[in-house]
Amino acid sequence: MSLNVGGIYVKAVADVSREAVLDAITRYWQARGATVSRASPLELSPLSLRKTGELGFAVAEAAEAEDDWGRWIAVYDSERYHGDHELARYLHDALDAPVMIFQMAGASDIATVALHGDGPPVPETVELAARDDDDDDDDDEHEHEPWEGQDWGEVEAYVSRFPDAFLYFNQLQRADPAQLSNLALLRFENIPHRPGSGYSGPDDEVLAQEQRKAAAGELAAALDGAALRELVEQHPDVVFAAMDGVAWLDPADASAREAILAMADVGIERGLKLDQLAHAAAIEGDDALLDRIFAAMSAGYWWGLCESRAHGLLVAANHSAAFRLLRRLVDRDGPSLTALNNFAHALAVVDEALLRGVDVDELLDAAEQAGPQNVAIYHNLACARVRLGQLERAIDAVEGAVRWGYHDIERMREDDDLAPLRESPRFAAAFEGGLAIALDDLVTRRSERGNLLVIARPVLELRLFLSPVARCAAPVAALLRELCAERKAELTVYRARGGLYKTLKKGKVARDLGVLSRLTAKDTGVAEVHYGQSLEGEPGPWDVRFKGYPEGMNLQSELSVCWPWTVAMEQPDELAARLLELVARLPFEAGGAGLSFGVRLTNGGSGADYANDKLRPRFVGFEHHPRREWNAHGRSPGSAWLTFLSAALVEQLGGAPALASAIAPAQLCELGKHGDAGVCARASRRPPIGLVTAANDVGALPAVARALAPLRVEDSRCAAHYARLDAIDAGEFENA
């Protein structure tokens, strides 16, 4: 679940107006010692009550609820995630009006709604299905006990019938005047500490701590690094506020940089704002401090932040500082592809004095190996090799750029930095070279927590969009039961609640699929199973995933099953027949099977987006696009080696005979009896693979793409990807 929100609704009966509700709220808090503040409620930070004793309210004009439930006044406060039960009871008594209060906690999948007085009946407390918390591997050996509560889906549906449902108070900070015109805003301060109350101000200790934090922010803004460090030494509880203040300073300013570096020891010791410290140290030219900072970077996100700062330094033409960061960013296992590219660029322009003592050859070799995954590396690599006098190795980079379809090859041919190469016959011949795609070279790795992990790999993926989970759950469960039995040796982990991967134990698949097969329309949650091959979430060539959405969400359920790409190349007819047989069993709407990038799925950044956003668009054949297809009812997710369309979609395209003519020489295969289950358009003998710059052997894939154009997903993030094939000529069905 994703909602974390709470609020109150007062029914607008008799003389109960928005002004009456505001007056009652004011009387309630003044009676408890609070005072009305003149400051803007929109300046409050969410959840600030227990820190500063301040609370904001947004109260809407009365508006009609659905289903003839009458007119209700929405009351939301700056605590955002909560609802004040004491205030709800007070409003009911003081206004003699029905009051509804709700709270939805997505982190724990618990939703509650209560009604004071008469009103639409709230969802009943019932026995709910056992929840698999996945907190312990031992849980897999036992069934969890059912529990009592209100069903999440019923609570969500109930609250959604009220006006201004699920309003997040802090969203009002970004709202336009039209949105705010319906709301009256109110702010209180000096809310006292009330032990045991859900809505309490801070105690004396917390208040003093908040005052020290404010002082830390003021010292940082004043660029008084020495005083700030002294404050942290005296009061360690303000270290986060102090470093947050330092993070706002500009390292390019000498005075600000001095203040930043005064906090270097503190930041290194606590692992805070390391990217800001590295930025300042790089400009200062302090290599010893930079080594200490990078040694403290245990979390992978610091590397990404430092890479962003290095890029900013390159843009600002501070090549020396950028190089100091970049050479450390790439001197490890699995550096990012963009860091390698930017390092090669910096190496071509940086002062030679900075190259002393740096093994640039080893780092450039690593960049060259990553060229197939980020083809722009070859251009910067060639320039760097020329700078170092390595002319033959520079021509090797030119050949790599041609071989992997560098989109800016003409600029490379005319680049003045490569002028010393033009006398070599190899340089001219390099541009006449052919394309060569080796899929194994596209496996992308990245270092995380000291481990070199695969974040993207080419696979053959079947990806289907299906009917709501109640209608597709049973056949999907039966199919997955069969596939998982076939892949028993390969599938060793499952993705648990919260995104963690755990070892797949005996009986886990059977229990999961048993639950899935019994789902009905009464089940309002999202059903999800994911079996793979790596405890680190690395994409495997045998992965299996299903995510089923209930009817009310208006999203398509999605099935993904992967095979090693080599199977498709070596046994294309056998695999195609198997896929057609599998798909015909399912109530699908659209889908496809073809080359795709399996990507690492994690809760944090893994670099997998690079494969989706940068690597995938370079190739023809990698047509699956990950953006927003799951809510595209009545659309096709693009063309693929095998493209599956329901009978309803085929009719939208004019029927099977017209479609068969439009996609020729691709083959059209009927699924089910007389095509009642839909059709499959097979674009070529083997899964097509080519570069956008030279799509020479991609079968009839462009013909299939053009025929499906009326069904394309109308989303800017997908449309351009699918339109790439429009200008490419279709080839023959038989491909290499």
- Average pLDDT score over the chain: 89
570 and 625: one domain?
yes
* Number of helical H runs and strand E runs in the chain: 29, 23
Of 165, 189, 213, the last residue of a domain is 189
Instruction: Assess if residue 430 is contained within a domain.
Output: yes
The helix/strand/coil state of 591 is strand
Contacts of 228 (CB under 8 A, 6+ apart): 216, 219, 220, 242, 245, 246, 259, 262, 263
602 and 464: one domain?
yes
The 10s digit of each residue's pLDDT in 307-322 is 999 999 999 999 999 9
Quickly count: other Cβ atoms within 10 Å of residue 175's Cβ: 14
Q: How far apart are CA 701 and CA 624, in angstroms?
A: 13
CA distances from 223 to 235, 277, 285, 646 (A): 19, 15, 20, 65
654 and 578: one domain?
yes
Position 399 scores a pLDDT of: 94
Taking alpha carbons only, the member of 601, 594, 597 closest to residue 642 is: 594
209 and 153: one domain?
no
545 and 664: one domain?
yes
The 10s digit of each residue's pLDDT in 423-454 is 999 999 999 877 778 888 888 888 777 778 88
Instruction: Assess if residue 196 is contained within a domain.
Output: no
Position 650 scores a pLDDT of: 94
Taking alpha carbons only, the member of 219, 185, 192, 180 closest to residue 26 is: 185
The helix/strand/coil state of 31 is coil
Q: Which helix (H) or strand (E) holds 266?
A: helix 264-270
Q: How far apart are CA 615 and CA 456, in angstroms?
A: 10
Instruction: Assess if residue 650 is contained within a domain.
Output: yes
Cis? peptide before 163, omega within 30° of 0 = no
Q: How far apart are CA 479 and CA 473, in angstroms?
A: 10
- Radius of gyration from C-alpha coordinates of the chain: 30
Instruction: Assess if residue 217 is contained within a domain.
Output: yes
Angle CA 23–29–34, to nearest 5: 125
Angle CA 63–64–68, to nearest 5: 160
271 and 171: one domain?
no
The helix/strand/coil state of 188 is strand
Structure tokens at 294: 């990078």
Position 581 scores a pLDDT of: 95
Position 598 scores a pLDDT of: 86
Q: How far apart are CA 542 and CA 567, in angstroms?
A: 11
Instruction: Assess if residue 195 is contained within a domain.
Output: no
HEC profile of 335-367: CCHHHHHHHHHHHHHCCHHHHCCCCHHHHHHHH
Task: Map tokens 């599956």 to a residue.
Answer: 644
544 and 612: one domain?
yes
Position 309 scores a pLDDT of: 96
Buried b / exposed e along 314-331 (16+ C-beta atoms within 10 A): beeebbbbbbbbbbbbbe
| Residue 47, phi-psi category: left (phi > 0), alpha (psi -120 to 50), beta (remainder) | left
Q: pTM to 2 decimals? A: 0.70
Q: What is the largest CA-CA distance in the chain?
A: 93
435 and 446: one domain?
no
Instruction: Assess if residue 99 is contained within a domain.
Output: yes
Sign, CA dihedral 281-283-287-290, equals positive
The answer to whether the CB of 99 falls within 8 A of the CB of 82 is: no
649 and 524: one domain?
yes
Quickly count: other Cβ atoms within 10 Å of residue 542's Cβ: 21
Structure tokens at 207: 């208040």
9 and 139: one domain?
yes
DSSP state of 171: G
Structure tokens at 465: 């969009």
What CATH number has the domain bearing residue 356?
Answer: 1.25.40
The helix/strand/coil state of 309 is helix
Instruction: Assess if residue 370 is contained within a domain.
Output: yes
Of 439, 466, 490, the last residue of a domain is 439
With a cut of 50, which residues of the chain have pLDDT below it? 1, 133, 135-144
Instruction: Assess if residue 198 is contained within a domain.
Output: no
Full domain range(s) for residue 76: 4-189
The answer to whether the CB of 671 falls within 8 A of the CB of 646 is: no
576 and 649: one domain?
yes
State how many domains the chain has.
3
Sign, CA dihedral 517-521-525-526, equals positive
Of 189, 222, 251, the last residue of a domain is 189
377 and 453: one domain?
no
